[in-house]
Structure 1
Amino acid sequence: MQSRSHALPVLRSRRVRRGPAAVVSAVAVAALTTAVPPATAEARTDVALEWYDATAETIAAAGAPTQSTNSRTWAIGWLAAARALRATPSGVDVRDYRDAALAGAVHTTLVTLIPARAEDLDARLRRTLERIPDGPAEERGLAAGAAQARTVLAAREGDGLDPASVNVAFPTPEPGPGIWQPTPPAHSPGLQAGNRRARPFLLERADQYRLAPPPALGSPRYRADLAEVRAYGSADSTVRTALQTETAAFWYGSSLTLYTGPLRVALARLDRPVAERARLVALFHVALVDTQIATSDSKYAHLRWRPVTAIRSADIDGDPATEPDPDWTPLHTTPAHPDYPSGHATYSGAAEQILTSLVGARTAPFTLTSPTAPGVTRTYTDWRTLTRENVDARVWSGIHTRTADTAGVVLGRQVARHTLQNAHRLFR
Structure 2
Amino acid sequence: MTTLTKPLALAAAPALLLSTVLAGPAAGTTTQQTADVALEWYDITADTITAAGAPTQVTNNRTWAIGWLAASRALLRAPGSTPYKEAALAGAVHETLVTLVPARKTSLDQSLATTLARIPDGAAETAGIAAGRQQAKEVLASRADDGLDPASINAPFTPPSTNPGVWQPTPPTYSPATQYGNRVAKPFLLRSADQFRPGPPPALGSPKYNRDLAEVRADGALNSTTRTQAQTDTATFWLGSSYVLYTEPLRVALAEAAQRPLVERAKLVALFHVASVDTQIATSDTKYAYQRWRPVTALRATTDPDWTPLHTTPAHPDYPSGHNTYSGAAEQVLTTLVGARTAKPYTIASPSAPGVTRTYHDWRQLTLENVDARVWSGIHTRTADTVGVTLGKQVAANALQNAYKLLQ
Bin of the TM-score, shorter chain as denominator length: over 0.9
Q: Report deviation, 1:377.
A: 1.0
How far 1:282 sits from its partner (Å)? 0.5
Letter in 2 for 1:394: R
1:24 pairs with one of 2, 13, 18:
18
> Match of 2:281?
293
Write the deviation string for residues 173-200 of structure 1: whole angstroms up to 9, x where unpaired: 3101110000001101110000001000
For the 8 Å contact 2:159–2:166, the answer to whether it is kept is no
Q: Does 1:54 align with 2:54?
A: no
Deviation of 1:172 after TM superposition, in Å, equals: 2.5
Contact 2:58 2:277 in 1 (8 A): yes
Contact 1:55 1:110 in 2 (8 A): yes
Asked if the contact 2:91/2:131 (under 8 Å) is kept, the reply is yes
Structure 2, unmatched stretches of 5+, are 1-15, 23-30
Using the TM superposition, give the Cα deviation of residue 269 of structure 1 relative to its aligned residue in structure 2, in angstroms: 1.1
Q: Which residue of 1 aligns with 2:27?
A: none
Whether 1:69 aligns to 2:49 is: no
CA distance in 2, matches of 1:403, 1:326: 23
- Write the letter of the residue equivalent to 1:287: A
Corresponding position: 1:337 with 2:316: yes
1:375 deviation in Å?
1.8
In terms of Rg, which structure is larger? Answer: 1
Task: Report the Cα distance in structure 1 between the residues aligned to 2:398 and 2:17, rounded to whole angstroms.
Answer: 16
The whole-number CA distance in structure 1 between the counterparts of 2:218 and 2:20 is 43
Deviations 1:120-171 (A, max 9, x none): 0000000001101110111000000000000000000000000010001111
Q: Is the 1:23–1:272 Cα contact (8 Å) retained in structure 2? A: no
Cα deviation, residue 286, structure 1: 0.3
**What is the Cα deviation at residue 27 of structure 1?**
3.9
Q: Distance in 1 between matches of 2:159 and 2:399?
A: 33
CA distance in 2, matches of 1:25, 1:336: 41
> Mean Cα displacement is larger for which, 42-51 or 200-209?
42-51
Q: 1:105 to 1:23 in 2, by over 3 A?
A: farther
Quote the residue 1:127 is aligned against: 114
CA change 1:229–1:102 in 2 (3 A) is same
How much has 1:106 moved relative to structure 2?
0.2
Counting only pairs closer than 5 Å after superposition, residues 59-138 of structure 1 correspond to structure 2 as 59-89=49-79, 94-138=81-125
Q: Could you tell me how far apart the structure 2 residues matched to 1:117 and 1:84 are?
A: 23
Aligned counterpart, 1:318: none
- Write out aligned runs for 1:300-379 (5 A): 300-314=288-302, 324-363=303-342, 364-379=344-359
Q: Does 1:282 align with 2:282?
A: no
Count the aligned residue pairs.
Answer: 384
TM-score by length of 1: 0.88
Aligned to 1:139: 126
Q: Which runs of 5+ in 1 are unaligned?
A: 1-21, 29-36, 315-323
Q: Given that residues 67 and 136 in structure 2 are in contact (C-alpha distance below 8 angstroms), is that contact kept between their aligned partners in structure 1?
A: yes
Q: Does 1:266 align with 2:245?
A: no
Q: Deviations over 1:222-259 (max 9, x none)?
A: 01100000000000001111110000000000010010
CA distance in 1, matches of 2:17, 2:279: 19
Q: Does residue 216 of the first structure (1) align with residue 203 of the second (2)?
A: yes
CA contact (8 A) 1:196 1:296 kept: yes
> Counterpart in 1 of 2:219?
232
Q: C-alpha separation between the residues in 1 aligned to 2:398 and 2:388?
A: 15
Is the Cα contact below 8 Å between 1:299 and 1:340 reproduced in 2?
A: yes
Aligned to 1:10: none
- For 1:348, the aligned partner's letter is S
**1:208 and 1:26 mapped to 2: Cα distance?**
25
Superposed structure 1 runs of 4+ greater than 4 Å apart: none
- Deviation for aligned residue 1:73: 0.2
Q: CA deviation at 1:43?
A: 4.8
Give the AA of the match of 2:320.
P
Partner in structure 2 of residue 16 of structure 1 = none
Q: Report the residue type matching 1:294 in the other structure.
A: A
> Counterparts of 1:117-266 in structure 2 under 5 Å?
117-266=104-253
Instruction: Provide the rounded CA distance (Å) in 2 between the counterparts of 1:88 and 1:115.
Output: 27
Q: Distance in 2 between matches of 1:54 and 1:422?
A: 28
CA distance in 2, matches of 1:148, 1:141: 11
Query: C-alpha distance in 1, partners of 2:75/2:21?
Result: 19
| C-alpha distance in 2 between matches for 1:422 and 1:283 | 10
Q: Give the superposition deviation at 1:376.
A: 1.2
Q: Report the RMSD for the aligned CA atoms in angstroms.
A: 1.6
State the alpha-carbon separation in 2 of the partners of residues 236 and 119 from structure 1: 49
CA distance in 2, matches of 1:84, 1:234: 51
1:385 aligns with 2:372: no
Q: 1:86-137, CA deviations, whole angstroms, 9 ceiling, x for partnerless residues?
A: 0323xxx711110000000000000000000001000000000110111011
How far apart are 1:25 and its partner, in Å? 4.4
Normalising by the residue count of structure 2, what TM-score does the alignment of the two structures yield?
0.92
3-state SS of 2:191 partner: coil
- Counterpart of 1:305 in structure 2: which amino acid? W
